[in-house]
Amino acid sequence: MILDSILLENFGVYGGLHEVDLSPTTDKAIVLIGGMNGGGKTTLLDALQLVLYGPRAKVSNRGRMAYRDFLAECIHRGANPTEGARITLRFRRIIQGEVSRFEITRSWIKGDKGVEERVNVARNGYPDDNYTENWDEVIEAYLPVSISNLFFFDGEQIKELAEGDNAAAILGTAIRSLLGLDLVDRLESDLRVFERKKRQERLDPESALELAVVKVELAQLDIQWEQLSFDIGRAVNDAGRLAKELRINEDEFRNEGGEWFLKRKDLEAHLARLKQSKNAEESRLRELAAGVLPLSLINGLLGEVETQARKETAIRHNRILVEAIEERDSHVISLLESKKTEPNVLEHVKAFLLDDRFQRQQDSDKPLILDGADDLASHVLHLRSKILPDVTNQARNLITSIRSLDEAIARAEADLIRVPEEDVIARRMKLLSESREAHVAKLAQLDSLKARQEALKRHREEVIKRMDRLGDRDIDATIAEDSRLRILKHSAKVRDTLTKFRTRVVERHVARMENLVLESFLVLLRKTDLVQGIKIDPKSFNVTLLDYRGFPLPFDRLSAGERQLFATAMLWGLARASGRPVPTVIDTPLGRLDSSHRRHLVERYFPFASHQVILLSTDEEIVGSYFSLLEPSIARNYLIQHDEKLGQSSVHQGYFNSHEATR
């Protein structure tokens, strides 16, 4: 099946006539349609299902509303109700080896007698009365409405399947429909009704009266059940609407700087700590500057001081030595004279000693500039070689730290500038708080309604058991050979056989479904070693994940994004198991998946989900790098534009502007 085009006339937000070409090309399967929230993407998905299934279509926002009332609500508000609305879908499929082209038109008007609907089907360009009269049977035989949600779904359905408590029920419904077991379920239900009537044929008056009372009680419970189902459906719709409003308010709150406002105190405290650290580092630097650190600026002069100090120490030593040498020389001359040394030798010794004293006297006469202690040179040396390098290194580290703190302070002050004023964000905070409280309250109401429904279900089952016991009373003892008993016994055997048949059929096919779902999940999953197997219980349809050791893997081990990928894999695997070549249509396909999981869907699912894939995306989903990754597989792209003044939307070729598509 290939969807060629859809035509909308005065349907929902689409005022006037709009036609969208949906056909893929030979090598490109994807048709990408962009639109803002509330612009008409979901309306387009509703139109596809409504034109195919009519009153049985699984459309949004219908709830428990009567079908004709729903059709009346779907007529564009700016259109004349007497002109009504119209949806035309053109598609092709292969029948007995040949391509047949179909055009189905579903139109309705609102007149004096209420809403009047018409359905017309044309095949290969000619009206076909047989297809028109039996369209519900035709489409049910080809694509039953019970499995349509395997091919037409939105991000909310994925989220519900991934997080809801009714995943097993959804999976069971899909598997039973795929295997045709819904017919078996209806047959079993009909047999139970038949048996109940047979049991009531020979009841005594007392039992008959008791049975009548039980039937009245059961009828009242059915009324309560129907009302509860209606209330739950309405609560589910309200919860979905409130969830969307909450997301919109969260996005607007974030866009207006709400998250920065909530972090304002932390930012201020962080800035204060940074400034305190900077003051402490500057204080330490000032302490160093008040000490010997400035001497590092005159290291060369300190070297000269060290040299001069050593010279002056030598001068002081020479002064002391000159006095001692003069006395020594006098004793030496006297000793030589007493020994009657030769005059020539004596004169040479006197001359040598006189010259030595003269040289030493000249050195000792040099001025003392520093006039420091003898250990001054060693102190200056220690200052230059040890103290000043350590202090300089400390100062350098402190300066580096202060510069880093300055940069951090600048960033923190820039972040604080982004914090909006309280009077600016107060209204948005109030809206967000009210939206969150309304959503939580609605969820609590929904839980309460479901709890009441569960209690009512148990009560109803007890009443049915009482009714069955009344029908069984004395049957075996009073009419052992009666044909009625034989019928009841055979009916019970048939029901038992149907139960075994149902289980065997599921067991026979469930392994293939497990493999297809697992294969689809491994294609999408980022952690390829996380899951090695999937088991589906053929009776309860509960799904169990198996790790690499074959042990059960709790679902809470999966992240929220991985659970949504698994839900997508279930739909993908079951759609493949159906063997039906049907297009896949997905509204808001990426939802709140993180970037890595979004990339896996874009790369590994969308191009291969089916031979034709229609994606309805917001401006925050398939944009930027995701659009670039998907572009080689895109056959056509459109943009839904909504005119607030006219209150209507229109579809145009193209996609979001380049600056929006590269964010």
CA nearest 610: which of 638, 576, 565, 645?
576
**What's the CA gap between 139 and 51, in Å, rounded?**
11
Bigger pLDDT: 304 vs 627: 627
Higher pLDDT, 381 or 528: 381
What residues contact residue 2 under an 8 Å CB cut-off, 6+ apart? 23, 24, 91, 92, 93, 583, 611, 612
Q: Secondary structure of 450-518 in the HEC alphabet?
A: HHHHHHHHHHHHHHHHHHHHHHHCCHHHHCCCCHHHHHHHHHHHHHHHHHHHHHHHHHHHHHHHHHHHH
The token pair that represents 607 in the structure block? 């191009």
From 35-44, 490-499, 599-608, 612-621, the region with the lowest mean pLDDT: 490-499
Q: What is the pLDDT of residues 528-540, one digit of tens each?
A: 677 888 888 877 7
Q: Which of 100-104, 180-184, 301-305, 492-496 has the highest mean pLDDT?
A: 100-104
- Give me the pLDDT at residue 289, please: 85
Q: What is the pLDDT of residues 414-434, one digit of tens each?
A: 877 777 777 767 777 788 788
Torsion angle of the four alpha carbons 137, 141, 147, 152, in this order, in degrees rounded to the nearest 10: -80
pLDDT at residue number 195: 66
Residues facing 17 on adjacent strands: 9
What are the respective helix, strand and coil percentages of the chain, to the nearest 5?
A: 65, 15, 20
Q: Mean pLDDT, to the nearest integer, of 454-473? A: 82
CB atoms within 10 A of CB 400: 11
Instruction: Report the C-alpha gap between 272 and 136 in whole angstroms.
Output: 71
Work out the average pLDDT over 335-364. 78
Q: Which pLDDT tens digit goes with each residue over 386-424?
A: 888 888 899 899 999 999 999 998 888 887 777 777 776
The tens digit of pLDDT for each residue in 531-586 reads 888 888 877 778 888 887 888 888 777 777 778 888 888 888 888 877 778 899 99
- Give the DSSP letter of residue 603: I
Q: Which pLDDT score is estimated for 612?
A: 93
Instruction: Judge whether residue 329 has pLDDT over 80.
Output: no
Q: Tell me, what DSSP letter sits at residue 107?
A: E
Higher pLDDT, 35 or 147: 35
pLDDT of 324 over the 50 cut: yes
What DSSP line would sit under 367-379, residue for residue?
A: --SS---TTHHHH
Tell me what pLDDT residue 473 has: 57
Helix ranges restricted to H, 256-365 = 258-262, 264-290, 299-338, 343-364
pLDDT for 202 equals 57
pLDDT at 63: 76
470-529 residue pLDDT tens: 766 545 435 444 566 677 677 777 777 777 777 777 777 777 888 888 888 888 876 667
Q: What is the mean pLDDT of residues 353-364?
A: 72
Cα separation of 552 and 554, whole Å? 6
pLDDT tens digits along 77-95:
888 888 899 999 999 998 8
Mean pLDDT of the chain: 82
pLDDT of residue 661: 41
- The DSSP secondary-structure symbol of 20 reads E
The distance in angstroms from the start CA to the end CA of the chain is 35
3-state secondary structure of 548: coil
